[in-house]
Chains A and B, each alone.
Chain A
Amino acid sequence: MADPLLMDRMFQRIMRGLVETGRAPHYAELARALGLPVEEGRRLLHDVMQAYPIGWLHPDTDYIASFPPLNNLPTQYRVTVRGAQRWFAQCGFEATSVTWLFPGETVRIDAPCLDCGDPVTVEMRDGRIVWIDPPGVIGHLNYGFGPSRGRPPFL
């Protein structure tokens, strides 16, 4: 495994890149930012993803697909901050922790209900829920983390 300090630095580059632009940087960009040869940057990215297994690369590529709570691949969980819809949450659950990436800001989550397609809206600020529409919005985990867990289509 790579140097933990270097892994921390790459992790922060990815997370902050996502927060600032809505997109995850490519490993070549990460390598340049960290002063590494490109191939070393690619290998370090794999080490970081292995150490952060709740995220993943797109299968058979070196492209970051998911880096929770945000997603580089669009999902139905659209995130709006300061009037700009630039981000996607990994899933409905992780959507509720996006608030911690934008301190002092109102973070709005908009998603279609998978049953009827009608909107689900949640607004949060510094971890507090400040608006819910409709009021009965609920989270649901379709697959557990135990024996019933299969492939995660719910994401």
Chain B
Amino acid sequence: MNLFRSEEHARRWPAFQPRAEEGFITLAALAGFFGTETRRHMLDPDYLSTWYPRRAAERRAYLEQIDKRSPF
């Protein structure tokens, strides 16, 4: 899960997997994906028991919202 200067740079990376074409995500979408509600509570005293268990469903919903459904 890396940041590149552009898509072209990512494609030139020797470790780039051709099947990972679906793996591109804009920085704005990435900030949204990693800024869903639960991630905003990491400093709360009950994060592990209350917030973390909600994370996966929330992230799946966000990916659907931005039309990224395939986990390839």
Contacts and interface: CB of A to CB of B under 8 A. Distances in A.
Nearest to A132: B27
Interface residues of B, number: 42
B52 A139 contact: no
Interface string B1-38: 11111110110110111011011111111110111000
Contacts of A60: none
Contacts of A61: none
B23 to A, nearest CB: 4
B31 to A, nearest CB: 5
Interface residues of A, number: 55
A19 to B, nearest CB: 8
Contacts of A148: 17, 19-20, 72
A4 B49 CA distance: 7
Contact of A144 (B9, B16, B72): B72
A92 B22 contact: no
Q: Which of B17, B24, B42 has the most CB of A within 10 A?
A: B42
A39 interface: no
B39 to A, nearest CB: 5
A127 B1 contact: no
B42 A140 contact: no
Interface string A101-141: 10000000101011110101010100111001010111111
A19 B43 CA distance: 10
22 contacts: A4-B49, A8-B49, A11-B47, A11-B48, A12-B43, A12-B47, A15-B42, A97-B35, A100-B35, A111-B2, A114-B4, A122-B3, A127-B31, A134-B6, A137-B4, A137-B27, A139-B24, A139-B25, A140-B2, A140-B4, A140-B10, A153-B15
Interface of A: 4-5, 7-9, 11-12, 15-16, 19, 48, 51-52, 69, 77, 91-97, 99-101, 109, 111, 113-116, 118, 120, 122, 124, 127-129, 132, 134, 136-146, 148, 153-155
Interface of B: 1-7, 9-10, 12-13, 15-17, 19-20, 22-31, 33-35, 39-40, 42-43, 45-49, 52, 70-72
